[in-house]
């Protein structure tokens, strides 16, 4: 019985490890810089700091929001992210599954989740998945392509 418990324990530990495994490939400094940028992006979204959100992108970045054409350029991207008065993103988190550095470019994919606080006080939870293509510009990693779509609960 003890042995069975141990086997079950190891099985669940293994399942847990494999399903949450993250694969980061590249030098530590670049990986950490991208992880910090992802975390700061969420912070900027939660603070409704649209200039900071804009600065996360390259000047010629492209975003691909659902049901819209490709939105090109930092200024158009800031306009897209700007929420109507009174609406806030209360919670935002990005969980990368893989980051791969290839010289001055990188790709990254994973999941995101968030909670929107509406003017009537109602909260809407959402989650989705994304792919980002990064470019290193003047030693800073910036988002060049940013595409995502939702996961239905």
In whole angstroms, the minimum distance from the beta carbon of 145 to its own copies comes to: 5
In whole angstroms, the minimum distance from the beta carbon of 129 to its own copies comes to: 5
Q: If binding is defined by CB under 8 A, does position 69 make contact with its own copies?
A: yes
The correct pick among 130, 141, 142, 143 for binding its own copies (CB under 8 A) is: 130
Q: If binding is defined by CB under 8 A, does position 126 make contact with its own copies?
A: no
Residue 120 to residues 45, 46, 49, 88: CA-CA distances in angstroms?
A: 20, 18, 22, 11
Q: If binding is defined by CB under 8 A, does position 67 make contact with its own copies?
A: yes
Q: If binding is defined by CB under 8 A, does position 105 make contact with its own copies?
A: yes
- The C-alpha atoms of residue 6 and residue 113 are separated, in whole angstroms, by 34
Contacts of 27 (CB under 8 A, 6+ apart): 101
CB 107 within 8 A of CB 130: no
Count residues near its own copies (CB under 8 A). Answer: 27
DSSP-assigned beta bridge partners for residue 71: 63
Enumerate binding residues for its own copies (CB under 8 A): 62, 64-70, 97, 100, 102-103, 105, 107, 109, 111, 129-131, 133, 145, 147-152
């Amino acid at each position: 019985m003890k042995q069975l418990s141990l086997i079950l324990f190891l099985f669940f530990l293994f399942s847990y490890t494999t399903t949450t495994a993250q694969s980061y490939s590249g030098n530590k400094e670049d990986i950490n810089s991208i992880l910090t940028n992802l975390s700061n992006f969420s912070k900027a979204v939660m603070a409704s700091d649209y200039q900071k959100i804009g600065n996360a992108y390259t000047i010629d970045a492209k975003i691909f929001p659902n049901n819209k054409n490709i939105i090109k350029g930092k200024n158009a991207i800031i306009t897209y992210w700007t929420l109507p008065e009174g609406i806030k993103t209360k919670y935002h988190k990005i969980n990368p599954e893989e980051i791969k550095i290839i010289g001055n470019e990188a790709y990254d994919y994973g999941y995101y989740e968030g909670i929107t606080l509406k003017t009537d006080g109602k909260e809407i939870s959402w989650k989705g998945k994304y792919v980002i293509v990064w470019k290193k510009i003047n030693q800073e990693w910036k988002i060049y392509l940013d595409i995502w779509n939702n996961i239905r609960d």
